[in-house]
Amino acid sequence: MEPRPTGVTTTSTPIWVKQVSEGYRPERGHIGITETSFARGNRSIALIDQISPNLGHRPNVLLVGLGLDAEPILHCYEPFRVAAHLEGRGIDYTMTLVDATQEVIDDIRSRSAIFLLGRKFGDGEARKILGNMWVKYLTDTRQRGRTTFEVLEGLNFPDFMFDPRAMVGAHSYLMDGVYVADVSMQFRQKLETGEINLIHQDIAVADIETRQPYDYVEFTNVAYLMSPEGQKMALANISRHMRAGGLMLVDDIGGYSGTPLLSRFKGWLDEEKLHDLSLIVDEVISAEKFSETFILKKVS
């Protein structure tokens, strides 16, 4: 029998998690509510940079709820951006990617190129920021970008945008030019070797065990779509597989829409529940009237 990976908690599952797990029906995912953007991943990149120098081993990363950009092309971005950043820093890594929507997992598995609409660069400061992120991706993956004015494999517009009656069709975006870059060879190789693991499953019940516990987890844009039961099981599942000292980025927009997570938004998560999961709030990044983004730390 292999030794238990260092840092995985041996704490038993809290009784309140066991209670909600009975009869739980896993989420199947919803393609219409998985929107993301090329900018997503900035906070994760910064936090991985924060923890990497002190690890003494290659970081093991878990990203949950990856999403597809739907304005207007269907495209997952964050795994490619985070992986490119680590590649550019010369940091080897392992990564697990979990999403309940099959289309998201299929997009990551099959994608050979990254596309970004030129129109999305906008004007002024926004254009500069997004442009810098694009240049960074190219630099990290050691390639030169290019521009296409025609549909290529992986440039997936919704079918209705090819209807001549569409108010804004795919052709109007293509006329502006679409930026193109390759998915890095290292990313493709890690998919083949299993060092990047794709899981199509509800994170509440997903089998996310790996040889080493997770050093970093992102759990954003997900909780508000889940039931309270699913939220409880998801955080328990993730915490159980985190290294002591590992960090988890979480957000709660339940004050605006969906299911709240934090008790201050009339959700269930409070200090007592965090203690049961061997988690503490390490930092509150932003706290608005109806939303909050924060970092949880695994303490044992």
Task: Tell me the one-letter amino acid at 36.
Answer: T
> What pLDDT is stored for residue 208 in this prediction?
97
Structure tokens at 97: 């990617």
Give residue 239's pLDDT: 97
pLDDT means per 10 residues, the chain with 300 residues, are 42 89 84 69 95 93 88 88 97 96 94 85 74 95 95 88 74 89 97 97 96 96 93 97 97 90 96 97 95 96
Rounded to an integer, what distance in angstroms lies between the CA atom of residue 199 and that of residue 65? 11
Tell me what pLDDT residue 164 has.
72
Tokens representing 55 are: 């690890």
Q: What is the pLDDT of residues 165-195, one digit of tens each?
A: 766 778 888 888 899 999 999 999 999 999 9
Query: Which amino acid is residue 115, in one-letter code?
Result: F
Q: What is the 3-state secondary structure (H, E, C) of the chain?
A: CCCCCCCCCCCCCCHHHHHHHCCCCCCCCCHHHCCCCCCCCHHHHHHHHHHHHHCCCCCEEEEECCCCEECCCEECCHHHHHHHHHHHCCCCCEEEEEECCHHHHHHHHHCCEEEEEHHHHCCHHHHHHHHHHHHHHHHHCCCCCEEECCCCCCCCCCHHHHCCCCCCCHHHHHHHCEEEEECCHHHHHHHHHCCEEEEECCCCCCCCCCCCCEEEEEECCCHHHCCHHHHHHHHHHHHHCEEEEEEEEEEECCCCCCCCCEHHHCCCECHHHHHHCCEEEEEEEEECCCCEEEEEEECC
CB atoms under 10 Å from CB of 4, counted, come to 9
- pLDDT for 11: 55
Fold held by 15-112+184-298: Rossmann fold (3.40.50)
Place of tokens 């975006």: 173
pTM attached to this predicted model: 0.92
